[in-house]
Amino acid sequence: MLTLLSIVNIVFMLLLMAGLYAMQKKHVSFSKRVFAALGAGIVFGLILQAVYGIKSDVLQTSIDWFNIVGKGYVKLLQMIVMPLVFLSILAAFTKMKLSANIGRISTLILVILVGTTAVAAAIGIGFTFVFDLDGVQLQQGAAETARIEQVEQKLGELQTMTLPQKILELLPANPFQDFTGARPTSTIAVVIFAAIIGLAFLGVKRKHPDHAEQFAGIVDTFYTVLMRVVTLILRLTPYGVLAIMTRVTATSDYEAIWNLGKFVVASYAALLVMFAVHLLLLALAGLNPLTFVRKAFPVLTFAFTSRTSAGTLPLNVKTQTDELGVPEGIANFAGSFGLSIGQNGCAGIYPAMLAVMAAPVAGVDPLSPSFILTLILVVALSSFGVAGVGGGATFAALMVLSTMNLPVAIVGLLISVEPLIDMGRTALNVSGSMTAGLLTSRVTGELDYDVYNETKQLPAEA
């Protein structure tokens, strides 16, 4: 029910949004406005929880209204994910330079994504030892018990599928259904569907060049219009970040976070070190890592606050092409594959840490070299399998734990800090896909260094 206090909170949120709009009118850079929104959201959320309490009806009502901006923005981004994936992959085939290297480009992106996930697993294992994390110490309450039941149910569904069945789930039996995102594997299915049409286009181009030219023009027209839609939606990013961050900080259970603080700190230490690995790889490729940080900051900030790699895809692709000099085709492949394959945070660090923590419970020595090497290999291979069952950190952890014959209940014991850790994991996933796009462009000689080294930022107005 909308009360006077709720109205006061909503008015204050509108004032903060008006401040962001004033910054835009003064031509403050996009990244600075996103950073300001992030800070304002954190402070406002903490104030709301301190004043009303996490279970307050006033707070819940206020958050419901804030969600119109926050969740509404995420929905708009999700609205264009499937059309963007389809048209961007298809457009890649209409560009001669990319068409000639499509196999090499795809292979490079996949190798980088999966290879960095293996490195992320090793880092996760290392920090679990450094912080002496042990699954035996975790406490189980009512919420954790309910979560464990859900996890075990998902594990049962996962174990009923054989590897061939998982592979078949990737194929687009009904592409129109997959465009709705109805299946967990819809994104990969749309990528495959677009690639099939792209290959058909190459055949038509050899035999009927006139028809192929007309088709390429149509694809280019639709892609141009869609990217204009992306630009319009991305203008709302600071407002979306403000609302989302306010909700996150206002509704977080800080007592539970405090109780599991050691795991949270260890997780973020591992995430930061893996991000440093991304920067090191770029430096070894001859690219200034500070330039990447500066230009990728708005993308990573939104990924952090929204916890959705799919919703971040439009901003991811646009930043790669407009700010980092990555060709459209490579940016689209890296962004699309990175949604469900080789996720450094969700499919790398997280399941590796849980496996090491769960090992003593099962009577397994986590310090055994054979256990560590096997775990890294399983994590790397499972980062492909995640795509076959819908992606996500929970599925990745279930696949790794079940393959290693370790107890899966530990996944449910961390429910109270899952949202907080997932923010960092999502940002790292997106960083990994952008790094894959940059490194692939560098190896193939298609990176535009002039664009990468430019000092301009993503414009306030498009």
pLDDT given at position 460 = 45
Q: What is the pLDDT of residues 372-385, one digit of tens each?
A: 999 999 998 877 75
Residue 220 DSSP SS3: helix
Say if 460 falls within a structural domain: no
Say if 126 falls within a structural domain: yes
Instruction: Give the global pTM.
Output: 0.81
Q: Total structural domains in the chain?
A: 1
Say which residue, 402 or 11, is predicted with more confidence. 11
pLDDT given at position 176 = 87
Task: Dig out the tokens for 192 from the structure.
Answer: 């495959």
Say if 461 falls within a structural domain: no
Residue 159 DSSP SS3: helix
Say if 385 falls within a structural domain: yes
With a CB cutoff of 8 Å and minimum separation 6, the contacts of 11 are none
Average pLDDT, the chain: 84
Say which residue, 160 or 393, is predicted with more confidence. 393
- Separation between Cα atoms, residue 300 and residue 279, nearest integer Å: 14
Say which residue, 186 or 284, is predicted with more confidence. 284
What b/e string do you get for 297-330 counting C-beta neighbours within 10 Å, with b at 16 or more?
Answer: bbbbbbbbbbbbbbbbbbbbbbbbbbbbbbbbbb
With a CB cutoff of 8 Å and minimum separation 6, the contacts of 383 are 113, 114, 117, 341, 342, 343, 347, 348, 396
Q: What is the pLDDT of residues 261-274, one digit of tens each?
A: 888 899 999 999 99
Phi, psi of 138 (to 5 degrees): -75, 140
The answer to whether 452 and 324 are in contact (CB under 8 A) is yes
- Separation between Cα atoms, residue 200 and residue 149, nearest integer Å: 46
Say if 462 falls within a structural domain: no
Least confident of 259-263, 359-363, 451-455: 259-263
Least confident of 7-21, 74-88, 205-219: 74-88
The percent of residues above 70 in pLDDT, for the chain, comes to: 87
The answer to whether 61 and 3 are in contact (CB under 8 A) is yes
Q: What is the pLDDT of residues 293-329, one digit of tens each?
A: 999 988 998 888 888 887 788 889 889 999 999 988 8
Say if 422 falls within a structural domain: yes
C-alpha 432, offset from chain centre? 9
pLDDT given at position 135 = 66
DSSP letter for 171, please.
Answer: S
The answer to whether 93 and 320 are in contact (CB under 8 A) is no
Residue ranges making up the domain that contains 368: 4-453
- Separation between Cα atoms, residue 108 and residue 103, nearest integer Å: 9
With a CB cutoff of 8 Å and minimum separation 6, the contacts of 262 are 131, 133
Say if 334 falls within a structural domain: yes
pLDDT given at position 388 = 44
CATH number of the domain where residue 374 is located: 1.10.3860.10
Say if 458 falls within a structural domain: no
Residue 244: CB atoms within 10 Å: 28
pLDDT grade, residue 148 (50/70/90)? Answer: low
The torsion angle over the Cα atoms of residues 335, 341, 343 and 347, rounded to 10 degrees, is 160
